[in-house]
Amino acid sequence: MINNVNRQLRRINNEDLIWGVYFFIVIAALFSNAYERKFVVNKDKDAEKKYKTINVCIFTVSIFIYLYFASLLYEDLSTLRNNISKKRVLTLNIKLIAAILFIIGGIIYLIFEIDQNEDAETGII
């Protein structure tokens, strides 16, 4: 029981840290948008490089965050007891699938952002 409480408290502390990281991601995204705006208006190549670099950093950090959540969900699934409800198992499986899809989507968008040319502009998701 105490071990479970300590594990949950550790997870909550990690989530607090992740929320702090998200705060910096929001600030970085605002800077990225400002540089992208500067690039669109002035065709400033330096601004283009900066906003793309910021977007790559944002997605890289986001992928690691979702990898963390996916590993927690996998850990939860692997330590389930036999008396757990089928609904709980289904919920954890769906959450794990969602986290994996976010990771795949983030990797695809990251590859696109790195390999993107000037003609194929899209906004950040």
pLDDT in tens, 48-86: 999 999 999 999 999 999 999 999 999 888 887 767 888
Q: Is the pLDDT of residue 94 over 70?
A: yes
Which span out of 9-18, 69-78, 109-118 was modeled with the highest average pLDDT? Answer: 9-18
Mean pLDDT for 96-114 is: 92
Owner of token pair 């996916």? 70
